[in-house]
Structures are given as C-alpha cells and as structure tokens.
Chain A
C-alpha cells in the first residue's frame, strides 16, 4: 500500500439485518488532504465514519486508516486519530487547561508533553488570559476552535471532524478553516463529515453519499462543472433528487 494514502477503503459494507447502511464504498484519501464526506442525514455517513474510527466492525470489505486495519488494529487506529464534533467537544465545567490535561492523559501523553502542547495552542490562539476560565463561559466560536486544538494534542495522523462549523458566525468559521488549512499543510489528513454543503466548498475533494453509496467523488470545482451548476448545494440537490 502506498505510504501517501492516509485512508484507503475498498468495498466497505455495513449491514444491519436486511438493511444495508453502507453499500460497498471505495475511496482513498492522501496524506495532508482535506476530504469532505457528504450526505444527507441517514445516507450512511455516520455509520461509515464509525467503521473508520474503529468503533464499529464492517460487515465486509477492507479499510485502512493511518496504515492500520479496521478489523485487527482498532486500538492502534484510535491512538493515531483525533475526533471532534459539535456534540462531543469539551467539558463545560473544566477549564481550558484541565480539558487539555484530561484529553492528553487519555492518549498517554506525559505531563511535560501536555504542558508543552497546551502552551503552544494557547499562544497560537492568543487566549492566555482565558486559559484558566471554565469552557462553559466561553463563546461558541471559541469552544469550537479550542475543541479542534485539543483534538490535535496527541498529534494524530488523521483528524475526523463531524459538522465542525455548523451555527458559528462567519468570521469564526473562517478562522476555523484557517486552522484546518494550517494543520493540513503540516501533513495531517482531515476528514470532514457534514451535510452543510457550503462547508464542502472548502475541501480539497469531496464524496457525496446517497442511500449508502458514494454517488460522486471529485474536487468541488470538477463536480460543479460535471453537473453544470454553480454551487455544491446545487450539485447535491441534483444528486439527491436523482
């Protein structure tokens, strides 16, 4: 397998009884790529992502994440990926530093490492004055940027982001994407699942899932050209309405 592939998936399938949630999907994601994984609610994105992060066993097919097999090496996968979603973020009743210490501890980082990484992102975000405030007291935009920083504390090879910028103000959203670009520039692979199509426009390549299958996979620009429309939203509408 090519070393530049961070994620490689072949005919990955998940069935629940008679229902096929994920139907033989195949794709590859390069190291340092920002990959958008799109689909409506119920299209199978979450099920597919759960298989990739090692918490759900595929029915058939093959997949490797960060070089590890999703059947045998789920523990290694978990060590080498980061995860952040709008729903699962930081503990509101802990301070920024305490959250970082907790997540760093989970990944077995030493106190020294945690301190170093924490100070790094605190300086970068320019939030030294609120680092000891409870997370619950911070504005939503800050929480999301912090959650992203904390999900990177163990320097994962691949980061899974689940609808990361829904509901935040336009400026914070740009700042958030700048952080993502920077991280990708450093060689981290970014896997974004979302059903917000404007979020998709920021990705290097996107795949669109409809009813368990990947119906389209290309750069946003090529997809727009292919379907002769001017936005990802329109691409999605064409695909979903058949």
Chain B
C-alpha cells in the first residue's frame, strides 16, 4: 500500500473537519477525493503531508508513519497545495530552479519526469509566475512538485479555477505520470473528473460516504433513473416533487433527474400526471445514473 489511513479525525474547535476516516491507496494508483468545499479534503491532505497532526488515528505514506517518520515522508512526497503556491515575483525558470535547489537536486537531473509538462511553459520561462494564465500556473506548480521525483504526489484541487482545456490536459499529464509509477492522491470538487480516477472516495462534511471505482459507484444508485423535460422546467420540478411515489428530483443540466419509490413505476403514468398539470412537450426517458446522482443519493439530506 502506498497510502493507508486508519481512523483519522481532526477538529477545529467545534467543527469536525475530518471524522474517523479510513482508506487505502495502492501503489501506482490515481485515487480521487471527491467532495464539495468544506468536505475536509484539504485538512486530510495536510495531515497526510505531515503539515497537521491528527487528533486521533494513524496513517502511513510509502510505508512510513506520518508522525514518527515525518521527515522521511517530507523527502519523498510531492505536494501541490490548493492555491498554486508559486512565487509570483519570480520567473518560471527561477521558481523551478528554487524548488529544485531546496530539494537538493537540479532541473537537468530530473528533466525526464517534467519534460512533457515543462516544454509547454518553457517558451515563457523568463516570464514572472504572477503573469501566467491559470493553466500555465498549474503546469508550473506541477513541475515544481515533481522536480525531486517523489514517489507519492498529493494534489489538492489542482483543477479548480482552471479552464476546461487546461483541465483536460492536466488529467492527461496525470495519466502519464501514473505510467511512470507515481502514486497520485488528487482531490476535486468536480464530479466529472471523478470518472478519470482509478478509485474514488466520496467525501462530505468530514465523512467518507463511499470508496470504490467510479463505475461501481455509479451502479450504487438504488433505482432506475429517468430524464424528464417539459417546456417549463421550474413548474416541472415543483410538480414532480409533489408526485406521490417520488424518490428524488434534481435538475440536471437541461433535464430533471427523477427517481421513483415504486418498483412498478411506469413512465406513462407520470406522463399522464404531467399532462394533467398542463405541461407541454413532455419527454421521459430512462438514463444511466452518474457519480453525482449517487453522491446526492448518499448525502444525508
């Protein structure tokens, strides 16, 4: 196991940021922590990178204890905090050089590992980091986190605030790093990125709701799920909510996702009901649940 977490808890005053969390990450895996802001992802990252002490519980990173061997861990992990923590007043090259020096290495020595990523920002190497676009900052921050060939990479919300193109490229880079044998623990608030991980943990309010592969998590959805649409979405939501055997109703893009309590549910009955409510242009079709649907199902609301 590359990372193993057992019963970790951490609270700030009254707020329970991380609540009795356990999970394991295999070597060479891309493991995603999926959850909204405030789910406890960052706190968990800081505990695992030895920046914070947990109130209780134990954890090992690369076989080393997070408290006793913290110096060892610090030497062998790469960490990219939530904000792109770069020196804004230093150029791209100076940033990279600085991080290489403090890890006791040089850019040349580990150029192989960062080459794919760095070539994309190399044309701007004289530019100050503060003047880079979000996507370029992200690439520089990743290069800096990789410069000492870490065995485990911790990426805290690396794609937040970054445009879709950069996000896509970023995930492609992670896949390539994975092939080089690096274990990656990554957090994200975007459910669509969850599908790109080997396994994911759904987190909310300091708790892990579920750990599994993305496919299995989607399959956890308990009933059939329907896409419903009519000409008036707002009225549709209200009317679906007052349908007798309603299980859940959530707007989902231009559709409304509807799940029914009743095993014998027939879309035609719902169609009639909506027609009675004077909806026009009614569409009801069965659909595959997504990770987000399961997440909402598992959330305790």
Q: Which residues of A contact B (CB under 8 A)?
A: 40-42, 139-141, 166-172, 174, 177-178, 181-182, 184-185, 195, 197-198, 201-202, 219-221, 231, 233, 236-237, 240-241
Contact = CB atoms under 8 A, between A and B. Distances in A.
Nearest to B294: A170
Given A139-B38, A170-B296, A185 B234 contact: yes
A237 B292 contact: no
A174 B189 contact: no
Contact of B163 (A184, A198, A201, A240): A240
B233 interface: yes
Contacts of A177: 251
Contacts, number: 85
Contacts of A240: 163-165
B232 A185 contact: yes
Interface in B246-297: 250-254, 292, 295-296
Contact of A202 (B204, B232, B253, B295): B253
Contact of B250 (A166, A169, A174, A233): A174
A221 B254 contact: yes
B251 A233 contact: no
Nearest to B236: A181
B164 A237 contact: yes
The A interface, classified by DSSP as helix, strand, loop or mixed, is helix
Interface of B: 35-39, 133-134, 160-165, 168, 189-192, 204, 232-235, 237, 250-254, 292, 295-296, 299, 301
Contact of B234 (A41, A139, A181): A181
B73 to A, nearest CB: 29
B165 A40 contact: yes
Given A170-B295, A178-B251, A195-B163, 6 more contacts: A166-B160, A169-B35, A174-B250, A174-B296, A185-B235, A233-B192
B160 A181 contact: no
Nearest to A240: B165
Given A40-B163, A140-B38, A237-B168, A181 B299 contact: no
A211 to B, nearest CB: 12
Contacts of B161: 41, 166
A41 B163 contact: yes
Given A178-B234, A201-B254, A240-B164, A167 B189 contact: yes
Nearest to B241: A178
Contacts of A139: 38
A140 to B, nearest CB: 5
Contacts of A231: 192
Contacts of A170: 36, 191, 250, 292, 295-296, 299
Given A140-B37, A140-B38, A184-B234, A171 B299 contact: yes
